[in-house]
A and B are shown apart, each in its own frame.
Chain A
């Protein structure tokens, strides 16, 4: 399986990127003017605490030595303590991981469930009113502000129809899923606009492709041509588009978690910015970046699995 050899080599190639991520997150906080020890510990820190953090991060030494300390601490799973929560940053971030992961996965699944039928409908009725409607709606959907869409959905489904909770996350899995319907739907609607446009275009191109004509020439009915040949070939570029948009999707969760008060990584980031909890800002940014690198890597594995022509 030489096509999967990149699974072993790619992590090595990603080292420079991971190195770059650590430099940027390091510089982010050091770029703030003022005494870095006070910035990291807040204004009410005790002199002993200030002395300790100066030693741990080498804050009195030159910048590159500080970066070395930063890496050393990172290697020990040490990204500092949150001023607000008084706990280790990494532990705090991983506690907040679950809602964010559920939100991203749920949104992707819902978006595909919306986009595939809509694009199919449009492509099979090309030029008809259904097609025009789908095109106008999906083009309009590109410009839907997620935070506003969320509030509109709250007004409709929570306030008017009382079907879903306005905010929060819940305790049991059923409860959690119930809370996540509207947040996932919000992101899914925005995402499905992009996916529908792309999928519709590929479906139309594939329907007219030589390969589809050849299948028809073999006497197979249009339903088989579509299901077994046109759709699989069209889904590949759409899934690639989804992979490209993973960064955008993760960014979207930041806003949506704030709208619905979901205790995920995004909400943690926004709170930390307001409370000047810089260790947390640093930690969340880093985990988000590493997560999207990993997801992109997984997307590559998926692409190679789905498209036999691709070698990485």
Chain B
């Protein structure tokens, strides 16, 4: 197996309010190979977005700070780079698209000009060449009549078209990695499927690696090669998609799967995980999932479980992991 393109080790983000600091992202590690699509899965507040913002050094508030970890891009440590040097990575090698394309595009600049701005900044060249490249990018992301649509403003686009434009913007600097932060959550179901197909096409045509942030295991099943489940800022399960979805070891992963309509047996009843995800200022001790966990045993409340291997590349952090026998029992019950 080749060395990963991106290796994240022990990434930690602290939220500071006065004297107290809480770790909203706590020692998150994962790896991304060239051409791989990794699904970063969790409920809102699980730290999946913050982990990626920290990667990009785009933490949204001055109260949030990177508190540790290492990030290697193609074997080179980039976490300690000064801001000026990091700018050759942000956008240039790691691009990002967002959940709400309406608010993430500049409302008063023409779409084509926004793309051309990025092209010119990263690749130089004349205005005309950049404009041509912008039109070409719009064509590549499937915008009909791109030469004309390049002159439109964001509000003149539909939601799906805006997300396509957002993808074109990210591709303008020809990055190796694309971080997609819930890019389909705000879209209609049919449009969702189109955008997912587009992302897959781009991966295939450009050999792009994608970190796909989502709370939707159904999307992961469709799109991703591997999966990393986060809860309360920590990784609770990580591994190849097939392996994890077929044999979930962490009760939380199993719970998420049970919540997924159409995957949890044929009972037709929508299951939910009891309770709520923890607030970032009141994270439980030990395993952060233990207050909601039906599998919880005595050490869960005190001792943080380590990530243990269950199969090649398949790790889970649980003191009392789901045994495949018990899962099967539940499914047949």
| Chain A interface residues (CB < 8 Å from chain B) | 208-211, 213-221, 224, 228-229, 232-233, 236, 306-309
A221 to B88, CA, bound (A): 10
6 contacts between A and B (CB under 8 A): A214-B166, A219-B87, A219-B90, A219-B118, A307-B107, A308-B108
**Among A211, A218, A221, which residue has the most Cβ atoms of chain B within 10 A?**
A218
Other-chain contact of B108, A214, A217, A220, A233 (Cβ < 8 Å)? A233
Smallest distance from the beta carbon of B143 to chain A beta carbons, Å?
Answer: 18
Residue numbers in B under 8 Å from A220 (CB-CB)? 91, 117-118, 121
- Once the chains bind, are A217 and B103 in contact (CB under 8 Å)? no
- A178, chain B: closest CB distance, angstroms: 38
Check B58–A219 contact: CB distance below 8 A.
Answer: no
Interface assignment of B170: CB less than 8 Å from any CB of chain A: yes
Are B172 and A218 touching (Cβ within 8 A)?
yes
Measured between alpha carbons, how far is A91 from B87 in the docked complex, in Å? Answer: 64
**A308 contact set on B, CB distance < 8 A:** 107-108, 153, 155-156
Known contacts: A210-B100, A220-B121, A309-B153. The answer to whether A229 contacts B106 by CB under 8 A is: yes
Q: How many contacts A-B (CB < 8 Å)?
A: 80
Cβ-defined contact, B173 with A229, below 8 A:
no
Q: How far is the CA of A250 from the CA of B156 in the complex (A)?
A: 37
Say yes or no: A228 contacts B95, CB within 8 Å. no
| B269, CB-defined interface residue at 8 Å | no
- In whole Å, how far is B205's beta carbon from the nearest beta carbon of chain A? 21
Say if the beta carbon of B104 comes within 8 Å of chain A: yes
Whether A211 lies near B121 (C-beta < 8 A) is no
Please state if B58 and A213 are interface contacts (CB–CB under 8 Å): yes
The 8 Å CB contact of B107, one of A215, A224, A228, A309, is A309
Q: CB of B96 within 8 A of chain A?
A: yes
B221 within 8 Å of A by Cβ?
no
Closest to B118 in A: A218
Docked complex Cα distance between A214 and B162 (Å):
13
The residue from B103, B118, B170 contacting A211, defined by CB atoms under 8 A apart: B103
> Could you tell me if B103 and A209 are in contact, using CB atoms closer than 8 angstroms?
yes
User: Interface centre among A209, A219, A224, A307, by most B CB within 10 Å?
Assistant: A219
Contacts A208-B60, A218-B95, A219-B87 known; 9 new A-B pairs at CB < 8 A: A210-B104, A211-B103, A213-B58, A214-B96, A215-B106, A218-B90, A219-B91, A228-B109, A228-B117
**B92 contacts the other chain (Cβ, under 8 Å)?**
yes
> In the complex, what's the smallest C-beta–C-beta distance from A279 to chain B, in angstroms?
47
Q: Which residues of B contact A214 (CB under 8 A)?
A: 96, 98, 104-105, 166, 169
Note all chain A residues with C-beta closer than 8 A to B271: none
The 4 A-B pairs with the shortest beta carbon distances in the complex, nearest first, are: A219-B91, A218-B91, A210-B103, A214-B104
* Beta-carbon nearest neighbor of A211 in chain B: B106
Within 8 A of A (CB), among B77-106: 87-92, 95-96, 98, 100, 103-106
CB distance from B245 to the nearest CB of A (A): 30
